[in-house]
Structure 1
Amino acid sequence: MVETLIDRFGDGAVLMMAGAVVGVLFGFAAQHSRFCLRAATVELSEGQVGPRLSIWFLAFSAAVLCVQGAISLGFLDVSEARQLAATGSLSGAVIGGLLFGAGMILARGCASRLLVLSATGNLRAILTGLVLTLVAQAALRGVLAPLREGLAGLWLIDGGAACSLLAQLGVTSSAAAICAAIALILAVVLAVASRLPVARMIAAGCVGVAVGLGWIFTYTIAQSSFEVVAVSSITFTGPSTDTLMGLVNATRLPLSFGVGLVPGVFAGAALMALASGEARIERFGPDTPMERYLIGAVLMGFGSMLAGGCAVGAGLSGGSIFAVTAWVALLFMWVGAMMTHRLLQVRVSGYRV
């Protein structure tokens, strides 16, 4: 079937369609579940283990279970994925993770959450997301690229086995899938204890499933295509910059998985917001100062490119294939976010999360 679609529409169009399908599912589920890494870190930093943490835990464990289960069953091979095959940067993961974590606290959402909120009519999220995207582009190919490359080059690790946490620990994909299944059960128990509605629990799990589908779809297309197709999954800063720059600099947008993903997420979140009556215009106000959002956007834009991904790109997609740099980046996103939240609570009176 995939070969037929490629023959009829071309590799780029099929990748874009796959990205759109995955994006709609992610956007719909993320909006309904309120999936947000920032919310989970805020809850934990306040000494609570409740619904927001359980939502993130459900999504993460579901993503790992889907991906590692597919690998163990022979449906997926991620050995050629960028996070595993290319040279990794531990310094970039540490520094970029800290910057991104701090930024998402200031901006009240990570890159994925900003995109989802934009679809509901949140003007703060739209402006913050645009600034994040522009800074990410500057860090990737513009004036900030030398700084990013310098920081990333401080501590490098080879690609291949050195970049695989499972290879380093001697753990098989089957064992990882079993552990993820146990973690998913624990996440469900936590969600039930937190009185999270069943519909939101299912939606949180679907966020993880969307990540797994992204890996499976791109791998399947790569196996059927005569062209070189990158095996990847959901991430936002890279595809967002490519989409924005393509719209600005070209009369025709090159088709790819990311080009379908970004509008797909927007459409899925918008549909969910309209169906639930949650769509409404939100602007900056006295308790939502613009400068804090913009500083957060700058930190996230640079931090995500330095860390090799955003809270979803590194945290869920990279984490689900057990890339060392992704797990390190995710860890320091948590550290940076929790430290920033605690500092703001102490030093800024009246700051509302």
Structure 2
Amino acid sequence: MFENMEPTQILLWGGGLLGLAFGLLGQSSRFCFRQAVAEGFEGKRAGQLRAWLIATLVAIAATQAVVYLFELDLAESAYWVKSLPLVALILGGIMFGVGMMIARGCAGRQVVLAATGNLRSLIVIITIALSGYMTMRGLLAPVRQSLEGLVQLPFAHPDVMHSSVALFGLEAETVQTAVIAIAALLALILISRSFVLRDKIYLSLSALVIGGLIAGGWYVTGVIGFDEFEPTRLESLTFVAPGGNAMQFLMIYTGTTANFGIMLIGGVIAGSFLSALVRRELKLQSFSEPKEMLRYLAGGVLMGSGAVMAIGCSIGQGLSGISTLSFASIISVSAIVAGAKIGHWIMHRETQRQTKLAAAE
């Protein structure tokens, strides 16, 4: 399909097709990071946590395989940072985690839901895009830059694999092969468990494909879509920065051009809409009261600003970043989980308060 295309066209088509697949699977399987961490906090076994682990392990194995086969340089991605802005990563991750819980969905999940008619999610993704762009290049950029400069933690090697090679004197290919094998084996065990228990099989298989889509993003932007004369940043699936760029593209269409991230967002919207249409799940949904809208807006602001400081969202850092084994991603995802715990506590307290008020009436 891509043989006769220019690199720019490959990036656009690749982003759109990857987004389409993510939208189809995300809508039909209900794949969701917020639900995964909530399951972990509550000790439930509804399949989302297992699905997220499968997607993560497959993303690691498949990405490292692409790196090995095509000699991809992940240093060209945003996640390999040799001097970690520790305060920004941790604070941004916590902000994103809290926002994700109080808005009932991460950035990627909100895009999927908005395409099915969820007006709450539409408001949230607009808020995420605006606050993210303000933090990246607008009014809040000086604050972000100040936070990034507070504590810089230097690393000789920005990722776990190369640090292990240097620390233990091992061969890089040996470590990489071991990582691929172990991650693939663990993913296979988790998928097999779904079949043995006959529990959430479709969700687990969807997670398997979603993990593969992460490697697909690296392959599209770093191999078949790479142009040595006009190089673009190596990237995979992520939603906050592309969401801001997509909004800007819609506003000044004649003054800018589409890119991989913008087409990714468009593909997710199209895929989720088609899935909901086929499954007869298109439905307009809105806020039940003004206070609920304020909570969702606050969640959107926290996610947008937080993701920019943390160099990614729960998909951008949680899958794409983690697949590179970068220390920045490990720190960011840990902070997102910590923030999610705080947000989960806030939502639990709010539920208890409403229950008491209802009982008093």
Scaled by the length of structure 2, the TM-score of the pair is: 0.89
2:157 is the alignment partner of 1:162: yes
1:252 positional shift = 4.1
Partner of 1:122: 118
Partner of 2:62: 66
**Residue of 50, 56, 61 corresponding to 1:54:** 50
Q: Distance in 1 between matches of 2:354 and 2:162?
A: 44
Residues 135, 177 of structure 1: alpha-carbon distance in 2 compared, 3 angstrom cutoff? same
1:210 positional shift = 1.0
Q: What 5-or-longer segments of structure 2 have no aligned partner?
A: 166-171, 356-361
Partner of 1:33: 29
After superposition, residues 262-273 of structure 1 pair within 5 angstroms as: 262-273=265-276
Larger mean Cα displacement after TM superposition, 60-69 or 210-219: 60-69
Opposite residue 312 of structure 2, the aligned amino acid is G
Partner of 2:320: 317
1:19 positional shift = 0.4
* 1:132 and 1:297 in contact (8 A); partners too: yes
* 1:222 and 1:230 in contact (8 A); partners too: no
After superposition, residues 235-246 of structure 1 pair within 5 angstroms as: 235-246=238-249
Deviations 1:62-86 (A, max 9, x none): 1112101222333643232221166
Q: Distance in 2 between matches of 1:83 and 1:272?
A: 32
Residues 193, 298 of structure 1: alpha-carbon distance in 2 compared, 3 angstrom cutoff? farther
Deviations 1:9-49 (A, max 9, x none): xx433211110011111111111221111111111111224
Scaled by the length of structure 1, the TM-score of the pair is: 0.91
Partner of 1:212: 215
Q: Distance in 2 between matches of 1:75 and 1:209?
A: 18
Partner of 1:4: 4
2:41 is the alignment partner of 1:45: yes
* 1:54 and 1:190 in contact (8 A); partners too: no
1:200 positional shift = 2.4
1:351 positional shift = 6.3
Partner of 1:326: 329
Deviations 1:166-218 (A, max 9, x none): 22233722111112112202322453466433222211211111111000111
Larger mean Cα displacement after TM superposition, 251-260 or 68-77: 68-77
Q: Distance in 2 between matches of 1:203 and 1:252?
A: 38
Partner of 1:200: 203
Q: Distance in 2 between matches of 1:75 and 1:27?
A: 29
Q: What 5-or-longer segments of structure 1 have no aligned partner?
A: none
1:305 positional shift = 0.4
1:294 positional shift = 0.7
Partner of 2:16: 20
**Residue of 278, 282, 293 corresponding to 1:279:** 282
**Residue of 295, 299, 304 corresponding to 2:298:** 295
Opposite residue 167 of structure 1, the aligned amino acid is H
Deviations 1:258-296 (A, max 9, x none): 121110011111111111122211111159811111111
After superposition, residues 99-118 of structure 1 pair within 5 angstroms as: 99-118=95-114
Partner of 1:137: 133
* 1:133 and 1:241 in contact (8 A); partners too: yes
Aligned residues: 347
Partner of 2:347: 344
> Percent of counterpart pairs with the same letter?
32
**Residue of 92, 101, 106 corresponding to 2:88:** 92
1:222 positional shift = 5.0
Q: Distance in 2 between matches of 1:176 and 1:114?
A: 32
1:221 positional shift = 3.5
Q: Distance in 2 between matches of 1:68 and 1:239?
A: 24
Q: Which has the larger radius of gyration?
A: 2
Larger mean Cα displacement after TM superposition, 214-223 or 338-347: 338-347
Q: Distance in 2 between matches of 1:128 and 1:216?
A: 30
Q: Distance in 1 between matches of 2:196 and 2:97?
A: 27
Q: Distance in 1 between matches of 2:327 and 2:56?
A: 16
Q: Distance in 2 between matches of 1:208 and 1:12?
A: 24
**Residue of 74, 78, 96 corresponding to 1:78:** 74
Q: CA RMSD in A?
A: 2.3
Residues 351, 31 of structure 1: alpha-carbon distance in 2 compared, 3 angstrom cutoff? farther
Q: Distance in 1 between matches of 2:46 and 2:228?
A: 45
Deviations 1:139-179 (A, max 9, x none): 011111111111122222457x5311222233722111112
